[in-house]
C-alpha cells in the first residue's frame, strides 16, 4: 500500500509538472502577440485545460492497456516509469526546451516494463499499440501541424489581402481568444488523460496482486478489477492537478515558443493555435496520445515559414528537434535503469 501511495504521489507530481511544462503549448502565442497578459493567459489555460481533462477517457485507456502487457507490470514498474518521465520533464524545462511529456511517459513505461519482464520484448505491444498509436502519430502529427499551419496561414493571407493591418489585428486579436481556449481544451483532453491511464494501471495492478484486499469496505473505490474505464475520482483528481500546474506557469518554455522561434502577430497565433487544436482534438477522439508540444511547435513553424523562411529561427528549432528525438530513448533508458536498480535492492 505504501508503494501505491508513492505511485499516486509520483503520478500527481508528473501531472502537475505536465501542467506547467506544457502551459506554453496553449498560451505562448497569445502572450507573444500581446492579446492577453501572461496572468490572463494562464487563467484561461488553466480553466480550459480543466474542462478538456473532464471530456473523456479514450487516451487513458490506450496508455493503461494498449501499449504494454499489463500482466508484466508491477506497482514498482509504474513508479519507475513515472520517475523517469519526471526527471526528463524537469531537465528539459530547466533548459527551456518544449519536449513531449507524452513521449516521456510512454518511454518511461516501455523501458520499465521491459526491465520488469527481464528483457522480453514481447511485453511491448508494437503492432497493435506502439506503432499505430505512438510512433506513427509522432511522425504524422508534426507534419500535419507544419503543413496545416502553413496552409491555413496562406489561405488567410489570400482572403485578407485587401484588409487593412489594423482591421486584421483587431479581428484576430479577438479570434485568438477563441483559438487559445480551444488549444487549452484540446491539450487537457489529451495530456491529462495520460496520467489517468497510468493511475488506473496502478490500481488494476494493485487489485490483481492483492495489495488492496485487506482494506476496509469504504476503500473499495481503489479496486479496479477490469480495465474498461477510468474511475471518476481519478479523472477529477488529474483534471484539478493539471489545472493547478497550468496555473503555476512555465515561463522558460513560453519564452522559447512565443518569442525565440518566430515573431508572431495575432493572425499568426490564431492560425497556429487553430491548426494544432484541431489535430489534437481529433487525436483525443480516436484515443491517440499525440504530443501537444510537437503539434503546436510545428504549427508555429509552418505559420512562420509562410511569412518568409528566414522568419523561423532554425537554430532554436534544431535544439527543439534534438529534444524530440531524444525523449523516447532517454526516458526508456531511465525507466529500464530504475527498475534494474530497484532489483538490486530487492524490488
The span from the CA of 270 to the CA of 55, in Å, is 23
Residue 300 within a domain: yes
Whether residue 129 is contained in a domain is answered as: yes
Q: Domain for residue 189, yes or no?
A: yes
* Count of residues in the chain: 347
- Count of domains forming the chain: 1
Distance CA 128, CA 284 (A): 17
Give mean pLDDT, residues 141-156. Answer: 93
Sign of CA dihedral 218, 220, 222, 228: negative
Residue 347 within any structural domain of the chain: no
**Alpha carbon distances (Å) from 21 to 52, 102, 130, 308, 335:** 17, 11, 24, 29, 20
Q: Is 272 part of any domain? A: yes
Residue 201 lies in a domain: yes
Per-residue pLDDT of 192-219, as tens digits, reads: 888 999 999 999 888 888 887 877 887 7
DSSP string, 247-261: HH--HHHHHIIIIIS
**Assessment of whether the complete model's pTM goes beyond 0.85:** yes
Percent of the chain with pLDDT strictly greater than 90? 36
Domain region containing 278:
2-342
What is the tens place of the pLDDT at every residue in 272-329?
Answer: 999 999 999 999 999 898 888 788 888 888 888 887 766 566 665 676 677 678 899 9
Strand partners, 68: 124
- Asked whether the beta carbons of 133 and 287 are under 8 A apart, the reply is yes
pLDDT in tens, 107-134: 999 999 999 999 999 999 998 889 998 8
Is residue 77, in this structure, part of any structural domain at all?
yes
Amino acid at each position: 500500500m505504501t508503494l501505491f501511495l508513492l505511485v499516486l504521489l509520483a503520478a500527481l507530481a508528473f501531472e502537475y509538472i505536465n501542467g506547467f511544462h506544457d502551459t506554453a503549448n496553449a498560451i505562448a502565442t497569445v502572450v507573444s502577440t500581446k492579446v492577453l497578459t501572461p496572468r490572463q493567459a494562464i487563467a484561461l489555460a488553466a480553466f480550459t485545460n480543466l474542462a478538456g481533462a473532464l471530456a473523456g477517457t479514450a487516451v487513458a485507456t490506450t496508455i493503461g492497456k494498449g501499449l504494454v502487457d499489463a500482466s508484466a507490470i508491477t506497482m514498482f514498474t509504474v513508479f519507475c516509469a513515472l520517475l523517469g518521465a519526471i526527471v526528463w520533464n524537469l531537465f528539459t524545462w530547466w533548459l527551456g526546451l518544449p519536449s513531449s511529456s507524452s513521449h516521456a511517459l510512454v518511454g518511461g513505461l516501455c523501458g520499465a516494463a521491459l526491465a520488469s519482464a527481464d528483457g522480453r520484448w514481447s511485453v511491448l505491444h508494437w503492432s497493435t499499440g506502439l506503432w499505430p498509436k505512438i510512433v506513427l502519430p509522432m511522425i504524422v502529427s508534426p507534419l500535419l501541424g507544419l503543413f496545416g499551419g502553413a496552409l491555413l496561414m496562406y489561405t488567410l493571407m489570400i482572403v485578407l489581402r485587401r484588409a487593412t493591418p489594423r482591421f486584421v489585428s483587431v479581428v484576430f486579436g479577438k479570434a485568438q481568444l477563441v483559438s487559445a481556449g480551444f488549444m487549452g481544451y484540446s491539450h487537457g483532453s489529451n495530456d491529462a488523460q495520460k496520467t489517468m491511464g497510468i493511475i488506473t494501471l496502478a490500481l488494476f495492478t494493485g487489485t490483481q496482486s492483492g495489495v488492496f484486499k485487506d482494506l476496509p469496505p469504504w476503500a473499495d473505490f481503489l479496486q479496479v478489477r477490469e480495465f474498461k474505464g477510468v474511475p471518476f475520482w481519478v479523472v477529477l483528481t488529474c483534471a484539478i492537478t493539471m489545472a493547478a500546474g497550468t496555473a503555476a506557469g512555465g515561463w522558460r518554455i513560453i519564452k522559447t515558443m512565443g518569442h525565440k522561434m518566430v515573431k508572431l502577430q495575432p493572425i499568426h497565433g490564431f492560425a497556429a493555435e487553430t491548426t494544432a487544436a484541431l489535430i489534437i482534438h481529433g487525436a483525443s477522439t480516436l484515443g491517440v496520445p499525440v504530443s501537444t508540444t510537437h503539434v503546436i511547435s510545428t504549427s508555429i513553424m509552418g505559420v512562420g515559414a509562410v511569412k518568409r523562411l528566414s522568419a523561423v529561427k532554425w537554430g532554436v528549432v534544431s535544439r527543439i528537434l534534438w529534444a524530440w528525438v531524444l525523449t523516447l530513448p532517454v526516458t526508456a533508458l531511465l525507466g529500464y535503469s530504475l527498475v534494474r536498480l530497484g532489483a538490486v535492492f530487492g524490488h
